[in-house]
Amino acid sequence: MTKLETVLAYHLQTKHRFERYARGPGKMDWATQPNLFRRYHGAKLLQLEITEPGNEPNYSAVFGAESNIPSASLHFRSISQLFFDSMALSAWKSVGEVSWPLRVNPSSGNLHPTECYLLCGAVPELSTQPLVSHYAAKEHGLEIRAEIPGKIWEELTAGLPLGTVLLGFSSIHWRESWKYGERAYRYCQLDVGHALAAVALAAAALGWETQLLDCTGSEQVGQLLGIARQKGADAEEPDCLLAIFPRGSTKSQLTLNPGIVPAFESLDWQGTPNRLSSSFREWKIIDEVAEASRKPDQRQVYQPLPPTLPDVSHASFTGSFRKLVRQRRSAVAMDGVSSMSPASFFALLERTVSRVKIPPFSLLPWPSCVDLVLFVHEVDGLHPGLYLLLRNREHLHEMRELLDVEFLWEKPAGCPAGLDLYLLSAGDARNTAMEISCGQDIAAEGCFSLGMLARFSGNLEDIGPWFYPRLFWECGMIGQVLYLEAEALELRGTGIGCFFDDPLHELLGITGILYQDLYHFTVGGPVEDRRLATMSAYPEKKITNDYS
């Protein structure tokens, strides 16, 4: 099969259907439960600083195109803050004798397959020379994997703004497949998207910008992170590389020097990755789709980004960004009675729409590929029913041709002019939302739930099969914004990975695979589990004042 055929075959095979679910392990094999934390035995650990979140910066300011947040100097403290606000532990939970960690970046099943690496030049109080390091979330520290000769670092980053640091992501598929089987590759990519948005917003809170370096291929990312030679079921798959730099850079195109990347193979790499389980179950289909989805070492030229849209019409929350990101939790149940105002609903949806220079979606170099199909239950003054939000208004003509001819296509009263939201069908959608989300009550008992509908086969054919994971990254980024907006409204959100793909398509009247449903989400009033105790993320670490 071609790479495109392999990707399409994986996607079709791993759909949940009314008559059967995608293949999974059948039961939880607790004896082989993966270690939640990758460590490199023998690598030096550099402890990062832990800061108590203060009132600044303002949550809404972080999303501003012309933010007044000053650019922090590149320093040990700012690097510490970047990781603390995006990839660190946020709390420990316990019930009885059992405890488990939560993180700032969400993860399907709290399994956290995403690993993060820092590549940087000399940073005051961090290092006197360039480094590649792995972020150890449990310790909130950096494991020094390799020192980079200054000349190599200079040549690598010559096409980047002065003071740029690089962050790389990789995925350990085994962490997800242990629980979810063949569908795990999807969930790993969603988690990359959650992490991308978390980092982009944490960087914006420091007055920094973030760009996806889509000029790099998967092999190059693996070489730069020092994971290219990993083998075995718990090996890391290279995902992507980000450039983070002070706001206001004059460089319009960011590039790495590809000719210098092979030099990283000969660095003196330190540390051996820990083995995550005593034994493993192989999922050949995941290895196949991962291989077929690897990006080649070439720059992709995307369509022009859309013109700038109006800013969010109604700021939903003006409190502390850092307090909010660390209090974010996934709801386990909804109360079925909480509602939200239409102004808050519209503002929440506006936050999910890509705007030039506004994080987190400004880090993506392609126009939005994902639209939202909403099941509205409890939004004051809005008809309950089925809605469509076009995050890319260029999809309008195509959607009207594809979707059921009986749909209304009415804009709700009071909807901001820049928000392309349409009522398709009025009526109680609770049962439909629940049935499509694998019968889960949480999809019916919130204020609304939604499915993320990606322009699918056209993008894979036009751009390449390696764009497949990027569609999930965009969905995960939307999910992270929804998580934070829900918290800002004193509600709660949660991602829903179990849903019936094709029944949603049938509900909309979609045939073929031009558009595909990739992720579900719900927002509402949470039901708290009072059996659980919450403990500090780093109870034994020294805490300093908030970074500013």
Query: Mind listing the pLDDT tens digit for each residue in 309-335?
Result: 666 666 667 799 999 999 999 999 999
Sign of CA dihedral 212, 213, 215, 217: negative
Let me know whether 259 and 363 are in one domain. Answer: no
Residue 547 predicted with pLDDT over 80: no
309 within a domain of the structure (yes/no): no
Let me know whether 358 and 288 are in one domain. Answer: no
Instruction: Tell me how far apart the alpha carbons of residues 142 and 48 are, in angstroms, rounded to a whole number.
Output: 7
Phi, psi at 409, each rounded to 5°: 55, 50
Residue 20 predicted with pLDDT over 80: yes
529 within a domain of the structure (yes/no): no
Query: Mind listing the pLDDT tens digit for each residue in 374-405?
Result: 999 999 999 999 999 999 999 999 999 999 99
Let me know whether 325 and 196 are in one domain. Answer: no
Let me know whether 349 and 274 are in one domain. Answer: no
280 within a domain of the structure (yes/no): yes
Provide the pLDDT for residue 311. 66
Q: How far is CA 80 from CA 145, 187, 291, 294, in A?
A: 17, 28, 34, 31
Higher-confidence position of 344 and 312: 344
Average pLDDT, integer, range 43-67:
90
Average pLDDT, the chain: 94
Contact predicate 132/191, CB 8 Å: no
Let me know whether 86 and 176 are in one domain. Answer: yes
3-state secondary structure 399-452: HHHHCCCCCCCECCCCCCCCCCEEEEEECCCHHHHHHHCCCCHHHCCCCEEEEE
129 within a domain of the structure (yes/no): yes
**Residue ranges making up the domain that contains 120:** 3-34+69-294
Query: Is the bond preceding 360 in cis, omega lying within 30 degrees of 0?
Result: yes
Contact predicate 204/144, CB 8 Å: no
Residue 546 predicted with pLDDT over 60: no
| Tally of domains in the chain | 2
214 within a domain of the structure (yes/no): yes
Residue 418 predicted with pLDDT over 80: yes
Let me know whether 269 and 383 are in one domain. Answer: no
Average pLDDT, integer, range 437-444:
96
Domain boundary among 255, 279, 294: 294
Let me know whether 263 and 352 are in one domain. Answer: no
Secondary structure class of 76 (helix, strand, coil): helix
Let me know whether 273 and 395 are in one domain. Answer: no
Query: Mind listing the pLDDT tens digit for each residue in 128-165?
Result: 999 999 999 999 999 999 999 999 999 999 999 999 99
Share of the chain above pLDDT 90, in %: 87
Contact predicate 111/179, CB 8 Å: yes
Let me know whether 399 and 487 are in one domain. Answer: yes
Higher-confidence position of 309 and 47: 47
Contact predicate 527/335, CB 8 Å: yes
Instruction: Determine the Cα angle at 447 with ends 446 and 449, to 5°.
Output: 70
Provide the pLDDT for residue 307. 63
486 within a domain of the structure (yes/no): yes
Average pLDDT, integer, range 46-68:
88
Provide the pLDDT for residue 325. 97
Let me know whether 28 and 114 are in one domain. Answer: yes
Instruction: Tell me how far apart the alpha carbons of residues 366 and 461 are, in angstroms, rounded to a whole number.
Output: 15
For residue 46, the cross-strand partners are 142
Provide the pLDDT for residue 254. 86
198 within a domain of the structure (yes/no): yes
Helix extents (H) in 157-270: 173-180, 184-204, 218-225
Q: What is the CATH number of the domain that holds 94?
A: 3.40.109.10
Instruction: Tell me how far apart the alpha carbons of residues 321 and 327 are, in angstroms, rounded to a whole number.
Output: 10
Provide the pLDDT for residue 548. 41
Instruction: Tell me how far apart the alpha carbons of residues 415 and 280 are, in angstroms, rounded to a whole number.
Output: 51
Let me know whether 256 and 334 are in one domain. Answer: no
Let me know whether 358 and 290 are in one domain. Answer: no
The tokens describing 247, both together, are: 């706001």
Contact predicate 280/34, CB 8 Å: no
Share of the chain above pLDDT 70, in %: 95
534 within a domain of the structure (yes/no): no
Residue 308 predicted with pLDDT over 80: no
